């Protein structure tokens, strides 16, 4: 098998083939421009037309009511998001169409049709209501990637309860914080989940998180593995028992357009994760529309997004968007390299996947594993590829394009955030010329600009701050329980504009290149991680006095987590201690936060006012020395000592 090296010409554009464009929902740049102009100039017309494709129990009075930074979309309407994802398709004749084709990590398989999904969701909605869970109650979901995770989310939406999904890789302490912040009344979990052949002890983590908790009255446990778990009488019940004797029908009540749909926690630049709140109508219209145009979803597509439902990608592009579009989707429980790096390609071949959405970090891991895992499989059913989560390096893009897409599939590099709810910047696959490394152009309704510190628009190729100048339907509405933080974090840099926290530049054609976060947030394997979160986990350890955390480029993960710590007087530096600290961070936050490097230092570089100068640490780690201005440094000997500890 040949291992061709790819020649990369960054100026080369790839235009969609005539064949692709002809069948696409948006088939030319002229059409994109026309629709984009309308969506910006007459948002009420544009979004009303899109929204009318969905089911409303009562029409809205007004498409948009905007008093920065508070938006109301489709005010006055009554709707049920779950009914739109499920019942609508049964009514429209898709009852026996596969909604979810699921594969467990050990190889077990299930196919769930839209009608079966409707019955399962209704039964679970009835089970939740039987426990007294009602509209606006918060329900924490901590599940493996099983159809029950989707069913749980949809059942919450159906009864108006607000779900808060916590990624199964997060720790008991992370669950505890989120339970406290959201004051959840119930937890939905499983006995365990499979990950690389081992069992993730989900229920045991929930038990630990619930120690001392006062709000949670019910814990519902799906039997996924059959491992031993403790069930607390009066509080815990089995999913299977709860749905045994309830009807498989349930009336989907209409809720207001701004009824809260979910809270999803994400890292910010301070220690405490933010509960991003999304509401019903706008989020529904946003995820529906982006799927339809960006993934060009059609009736016969087989779509697969490899994310976990614990992240926003799993919310918008596994649970809500694809089901709103009535497509068939693949759901896979486990790791991409189990039993080997061919797992994804064998799934694509077996189920005839046509649209595939994954992350650059996964692509880089596949490249490293070697082409032989791909070459064994027939990937000819693919017609469209997507990436999300971080900038994709041109060589990984080219490999994805050639090796996975066979040179015939457009790649949509989609930029968005937990806060934006849906994709904001992306090519439209039948229209936009694509290029490695750029998410290209704003989606409909998105008024994206790159500004300098004074609020002026940057010139072509001049880097600046990415902002969104107008409200969009799937935007976050607030940070749960913290309006002030909502205003301060997103709306205070420029008047009436949303600041994304990302640096970016535009080329002459208007293509947007995302440069990376401007705040103290790292992007580790496409996931956001606050340096402050890792620092506070470190200083919570009995041996640590102070900690500073920075990112460093990493071949596979995008960024590696590099920590500098000073020890308390009675603690001694040792390899065991470093290992212990690494595991400690994993235990406090979750495995994704485990530091790649821990340096024990005699002191940290600080300004005279006592602020840690992370800028110097970054420079030191990335170049080995300091060239910049260090006159504000309180003690210049610290740098020499750090240099020594880095070499050592």
- 198 is known to lie in a ligand binding site: yes
514 is a site residue for ligand WT7 (CB under 6 A): yes
DSSP string, 444-488: TT--EEEE-TTSPBPPTT--EEEEE-S--TT---EETT-HHHHHH
Closest CA to 400 of 335, 339, 328, 345: 345
304 is a site residue for ligand WT7 (CB under 6 A): no
279 is a site residue for ligand WT7 (CB under 6 A): no
Q: For ligand WT7, give the closer residue by CB, 86 or 514.
A: 514
Q: For ligand WT7, give the closer residue by CB, 367 or 545.
A: 367
- 531 is known to lie in a ligand binding site: no
What distance lies between CA 582 and its chain's CA centroid?
A: 24
Of residues 355-414, which lie at the interface with ligand WT7 (CB under 6 A)?
388-391, 413-414
- 195 is known to lie in a ligand binding site: yes
- 389 is known to lie in a ligand binding site: yes
Strands (E), 130-259: 138-142, 162-165, 186-190, 193-195, 198-200, 218-222, 236-238, 255-256
Tell me the helix, strand and coil percentages in the chain, rounded to 5.
30, 25, 45
312 is a site residue for ligand WT7 (CB under 6 A): yes
Question: Would you state the structure tokens that stand for residue 331, as one six-digit string?
Answer: 């759901």
Distance CA(494)–CA(431), nearest Å, equals 32
Query: Which string of x and - marks every residue 407-436 that binds ligand WT7 (by CB under 6 A)?
Result: ------xxxxxx------------------
Backbone φ and ψ of 257, nearest 5°: -60, -35
Q: Provide the phi-psi class of 160: left if phi over 0, else alpha when psi is between -120 and 50, else beta.
A: left
CB of 22 to ligand WT7, least distance (A): 27
CB of 306 to ligand WT7, least distance (A): 12
Of residues 121-140, which lie at the interface with ligand WT7 (CB under 6 A)?
none
CB 362 within 8 A of CB 386: no
Q: For ligand WT7, give the closer residue by CB, 504 or 565.
A: 504
- 107 is known to lie in a ligand binding site: no
Q: For ligand WT7, give the closer residue by CB, 432 or 523.
A: 523
Per the document, the length of the chain is 648
Q: For ligand WT7, give the closer residue by CB, 350 or 482.
A: 482
Closest CA to 603 of 550, 564, 631, 549: 564
328 is a site residue for ligand WT7 (CB under 6 A): no
Closest CA to 189 of 313, 53, 309: 309
CB of 40 to ligand WT7, least distance (A): 22
Distance CA(325)–CA(274), nearest Å, equals 30
* Cross-strand bridge partners of residue 528: 523
501 is a site residue for ligand WT7 (CB under 6 A): yes
The structure tokens 């420029």 sit at 494
Q: For ligand WT7, give the closer residue by CB, 56 or 317.
A: 317
CB of 519 to ligand WT7, least distance (A): 9
Q: For ligand WT7, give the closer residue by CB, 332 or 513.
A: 513
Q: For ligand WT7, give the closer residue by CB, 174 or 414.
A: 414
Q: For ligand WT7, give the closer residue by CB, 236 or 308.
A: 308
CB 244 within 8 A of CB 222: no
121, 149, 330, 332, 351 from 356: Cα distances, Å: 26, 21, 10, 13, 12
505 is a site residue for ligand WT7 (CB under 6 A): no
Burial of 441 (0-12, 13-18, 19+ CB in 10 A): buried
- 413 is known to lie in a ligand binding site: yes
Query: Which string of x and - marks every residue 194-223 that binds ligand WT7 (by CB under 6 A)?
Result: ------------------------------
Binding part of the chain for ligand WT7, among 72-80, 149-157, 216-224, 521-529 by CB under 6 A, reads 521-529
Residues touching ligand WT7, count (CB under 6 A): 22
Annotated binding site: 195-198, 313, 337, 389-391, 413-418, 502, 517, 525, 528, 539, 541, 544
Q: Which residues bind ligand WT7 (CB under 6 A)?
A: 266, 312-313, 388-391, 413-418, 439, 500-502, 514, 517, 523, 527-528
- Residue ranges of the annotated binding site for Mg(2+) are 539, 541, 544
């Amino acid at each position: 098998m040949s291992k061709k090296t790819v020649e990369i010409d960054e100026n080369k554009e790839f235009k969609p083939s005539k064949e692709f464009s002809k069948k696409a929902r948006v088939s030319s740049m002229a059409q994109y421009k026309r629709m984009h102009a309308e969506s910006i100039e007459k948002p009420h017309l544009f979004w009303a037309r899109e929204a009318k494709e969905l089911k409303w129990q009562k029409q809205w009075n007004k498409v948009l009511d905007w008093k920065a930074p508070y938006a109301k979309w489709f005010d006055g309407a009554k709707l049920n998001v779950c009914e739109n994802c499920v019942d609508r398709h049964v009514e429209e004749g898709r009852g026996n169409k596969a909604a979810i084709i699921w594969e467990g990590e050990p190889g077990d398989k299930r196919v769930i049709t839209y009608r079966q999904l409707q019955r399962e969701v209704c039964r679970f909605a009835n089970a939740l209501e039987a426990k007294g869970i009602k509209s606006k109650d918060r329900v924490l979901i901590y599940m493996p990637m099983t159809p029950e995770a989707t069913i749980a989310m949809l059942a919450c939406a159906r009864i108006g309860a607000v779900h808060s999904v916590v990624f199964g890789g997060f720790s008991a302490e992370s669950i505890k914080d989120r339970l406290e912040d959201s004051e959840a009344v119930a937890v939905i979990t499983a006995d365990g989940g499979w990950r690389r052949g081992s069992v993730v002890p989900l229920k045991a983590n929930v038990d630990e998180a619930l120690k001392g908790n006062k709000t949670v009255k019910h814990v519902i446990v799906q039997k996924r593995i059959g491992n031993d778990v403790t069930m607390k009488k009066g509080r815990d019940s089995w999913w299977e028992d709860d749905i045994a004797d309830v009807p498989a029908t349930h009336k989907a009540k209409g809720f207001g357009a701004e009824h809260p749909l979910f809270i999803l926690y994400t890292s910010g630049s301070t220690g405490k994760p933010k509960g991003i709140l999304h509401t019903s109508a706008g989020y529904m219209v946003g995820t529906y529309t982006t799927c339809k145009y960006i993934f060009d979803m059609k009736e016969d597509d087989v779509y697969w997004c490899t994310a976990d439902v614990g992240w926003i990608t799993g919310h918008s592009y596994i649970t809500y968007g694809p089901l709103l579009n009535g497509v068939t989707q693949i759901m896979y429980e486990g790791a991409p390299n189990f039993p080997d790096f061919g797992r994804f390609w064998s799934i694509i071949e077996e189920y005839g996947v046509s649209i595939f959405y994954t992350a650059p970090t996964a692509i880089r891991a596949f490249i490293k594993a070697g082409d032989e895992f791909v070459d064994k499989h027939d990937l000819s059913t693919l017609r469209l590829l997507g990436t999300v989560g971080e900038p994709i390096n041109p060589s990984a893009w080219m490999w994805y394009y050639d090796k996975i897409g066979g040179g015939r599939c457009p790649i949509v590099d989609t930029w968005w955030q937990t806060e934006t709810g849906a994709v904001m910047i992306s090519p439209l696959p039948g229209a936009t010329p694509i290029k490695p490394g750029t998410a290209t152009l704003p989606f409909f309704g998105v008024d994206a600009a790159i500004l300098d510190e004074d609020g002026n628009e940057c010139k072509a190729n001049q880097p600046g701050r990415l902002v969104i100048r107008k409200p969009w339907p799937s935007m976050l509405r607030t940070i749960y329980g913290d309006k002030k933080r909502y205003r301060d974090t997103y709306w205070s840099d420029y008047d009436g504009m949303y600041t994304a926290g990302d640096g970016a530049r535009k080329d002459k054609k208007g293509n947007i290149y995302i440069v990376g976060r401007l705040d103290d947030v790292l992007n580790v394997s496409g996931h956001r991680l606050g340096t402050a979160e890792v620092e506070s986990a470190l200083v919570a350890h009995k041996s640590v006095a102070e900690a500073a955390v920075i990112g460093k480029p990493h071949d596979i993960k995008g960024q590696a987590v590099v920590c500098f710590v000073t020890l308390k007087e009675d603690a001694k530096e040792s390899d065991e201690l470093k290992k212990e600290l690494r595991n400690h961070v994993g235990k406090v936050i979750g495995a994704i936060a485990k530091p790649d490097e821990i340096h024990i230092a005699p002191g940290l570089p600080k300004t005279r006012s006592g602020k840690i100068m992370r800028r110097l640490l970054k420079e030191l780690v990335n170049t080995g020395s300091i060239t910049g201005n260090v006159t504000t440094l309180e003690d210049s000997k610290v740098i020499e000592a750090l240099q020594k500890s880095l070499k050592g």
